[in-house]
Structure 1
Amino acid sequence: MKNILQIGVGALGQQVLRYLLERDGIRITGVADLNPELTGRDIGSFFDKPHTGVTVSRSLEDAIHASDSKPEVAVITTVSSIEKLVPQIREAAEAGLHIVSTCEELIFPWNRHPGAAEKIDSICKEHGVACLGTGVNPGFLMDYLPSVFTSVCQNVDSIYVERVQDASERRVPFQQKIGAGLTHDQFEAKKEDGSLRHVGLPESVDLIAHAMNWPLDDNRETLEPVLAEKEISSGYKKIKKGEPSGVEQVGSGFVGGREVIRLRFRAAVGEERSYDRITVSGTPTITTEIEGGLNGDTATCAITVNAIRSVTKCSPGLKTMLNVPVPAFYSRV
């Protein structure tokens, strides 16, 4: 039985919390969130379930003191920024907790956020705990999984991953994050200030390059709006023809001036077909496609829960999906 403390119960955090509640072999000992409106609320009430006796606390310290059982792992579902995550990791590590987080920039931060990566690694080693960033994307589909496919290759020339999604089926915050329903001016403004983007694509390129031992000359990223070809009403708001319905983002890694990694992420409300496709060009060439694509919310929450067992088996320090035991589904049975 793994004792878990969760930090953050926003939209994604609540879904992770539900998965934790439903999983055999996991006991939730505490939950923390800064939102004062949630303080004291029994976690069962989020899902119309019977009272559990576990209520939301304002801080990690309060959540630990509210329980008779000591937690082993902190599941952190709060921010996308690694810089903002460092204090939360420090607090959890000082409490002796291993950490699993959905922070996108934590997936492989060594190149783009070296200072934060070194700090987290040092903090975790000092306190004898392991820390892992994971999720479906980044953390699995566009980085870890293609890296695994290369295990059966004699040689690899390039890796191309496509993730195309109909965002109508995703949470409203996700639709808003990709710019669906904005005007052109609003889209460009959010693009410029960095608030409109799929976070983690450069980190996915870096993770693949690390797995392949490819020294990248460059790690580039482009971002453009997807424009509605007709009026769309399947999302959280109506989108006029010609207005942004989502985003197309491409991450590219180059070696010797040649593109060896290409990650294409396209998410838009009203997209005709959802799919995930991985192509490893080499000997042999491998192409695999997931029709309908993996549901980002479901898969992210699932891999976060399944990674709990993996992180407890690691040596102390900051880990990536490349150096933890495979986070397969597990339960008590």
Structure 2
Amino acid sequence: MTADLRVVQWATGNIGRKALRGALEHPTLSLAGVLVYHPDKIGTDAGDLCGVAPVGIRAVSDPADVVALDADCVLYMPRTLNADDVCRILENGTNVVTTCGEFRHPAAMDPALRQAVEAACQIGGSSIHSTGSSPGLISEAVPLVLTTAQRRLDRLVIDEYGDLSQRDSPEMLFDLMGFGRAMAPFEKFRADFLCASFGPSLQALAEALNLPLDNVTAHGELAATPTEVHIAAGTLEAHSVAAQRITVTGWRGGRELIEFRATWYCTRRLEPAWKVDDTGWRVTVQGDAPLDVTIRMPIPLDQMAETTPGYTANRAVNLVEAVCAARPGILSVVDLACPVARLHSPAHAESGDRPTPGAGTP
């Protein structure tokens, strides 16, 4: 594609703001509009919303205004999916790249949602793709690359580690995630939640490898701190929950084939003793060409909250061209092959060769 693609940023939370800035700086994308939910953001210039110079495009709140733009693609990033809005966008002929995970594996979707979305895609000749970092990059794209070195796969394990000791988010850590509570049996609904998020991603990966899964299960574990611990979000009393590990397992032929393990912790001193790694991922491939790959996030812990949205948002922006060029319908990661990102560098910015925000200049 050589012509600029007109995109709309739908929602401007932490990830949406990063995606908006990415779209403005992208060499072959041109911003057509922005949709916001918070009343205070309505009418605000898109540049002001994401920390760059004003670009002359003001945020709106009515989905009808977005549909009327007839853009090439909507970067759809609300907190929760509104199926009616998505179908309306697709019926209008506008493609969708979203961080909502409902579309990762069509066969695992709610049948009514799948039928409605596929019908909308056919009417508009449009496509939709769910992406992100985890699930997404680490549970689909990276394993697909690593397994190209295999002819036999015995087992694939994806470990995610998150050090939350410097995350100053008391509501998230204590109220939502349950750190600091008295030790008790792991709440099943929390494991089920992660299974619903990662299960379709692992199923899509397995089917792409010609090894479809028989079923997907999930379970969780907790570990405590032996002593009182002070973290950025507050204090963990001795013997309270200080770490949790949720494992999502894809089974084939009665054995574990693909596994995703999330280990989130507030201290490394735990009881029982767990081996924890720095924030990032480790992918272990057991096959006829074994691999053990570690991916670190070389970011100070107190800067994680402001930096990590880019891992999700940037991937979505970088996939716009591939989704617009693809066949109509619900697209998995396999349908997009391996798109190549079009990037800019600090050197270009310093020399004045960086794209003008919003202009989409090649």
Q: Could you state the TM-score of these two structures normalised by the residue count of structure 1?
A: 0.85
Q: Is the contact between residue 247 and residue 260 of structure 2 (CA under 8 Å) also seen in structure 1? A: yes
Letter of the structure 1 residue corresponding to residue 333 of structure 2: M
The answer as to 2:54 corresponding to 1:51 is yes
Q: Is the contact between residue 178 and residue 198 of structure 1 (CA under 8 Å) also seen in structure 2? A: no
Q: How does 1:1-333 map to 2 (within 5 A)?
A: 1-63=4-66, 65=68, 70-80=70-80, 84-168=81-165, 172=169, 175=173, 179=177, 181=179, 183-184=181-182, 192=189, 197=194, 200-245=197-242, 247-270=244-267, 273-292=278-297, 296-331=308-343
Indicate the SS of the match to 1:110: helix
CA root-mean-square deviation = 3.0
Shift of 1:226: 4.6
Shift of 1:119: 2.6
Indicate the SS of the match to 1:57: coil
Letter of the structure 2 residue corresponding to residue 282 of structure 1: G
Q: Distance in 1 between matches of 2:37 and 2:99?
A: 17
Q: Is the contact between residue 179 and residue 196 of structure 1 (CA under 8 Å) also seen in structure 2? A: no
Shift of 1:95: 2.5
Runs of 4+, deviation exceeding 6 Å: 185-189, 193-196
Q: How many residues align?
A: 326
Shift of 1:262: 1.4
Q: Distance in 2 between matches of 1:312 and 1:221?
A: 35
Shift of 1:206: 1.0
Distance 1:112 1:128, change over 3 A: closer
Q: Distance in 2 between matches of 1:277 and 1:99?
A: 30
- CA deviations over 1:261-292 (Å, ceiling 9, x no partner): 11111123346622311112111112211134
Letter of the structure 1 residue corresponding to residue 147 of structure 2: T
Distance 1:244 1:167, change over 3 A: same
Indicate the SS of the match to 1:204: helix
Moved more, 25-34 or 241-250: 241-250
Q: What stretches of structure 1 of length at least 5 have no aligned partner?
A: none
- CA deviations over 1:158-182 (Å, ceiling 9, x no partner): 1111111223566848657861545
Q: Distance in 1 between matches of 2:26 and 2:210?
A: 37
Q: What stretches of structure 2 of length at least 5 have no aligned partner?
A: 269-276, 300-306, 344-360
- CA deviations over 1:88-145 (Å, ceiling 9, x no partner): 2112112221000001232224225343233322221221001000001111102332
- CA deviations over 1:282-326 (Å, ceiling 9, x no partner): 111122111347974221111011011110110000001111142
Q: Is the contact between residue 180 and residue 268 of structure 1 (CA under 8 Å) also seen in structure 2? A: no
Letter of the structure 2 residue corresponding to residue 58 of structure 1: S
Letter of the structure 2 residue corresponding to residue 240 of structure 1: E
Distance 1:187 1:52, change over 3 A: farther
Indicate the SS of the match to 1:40: coil
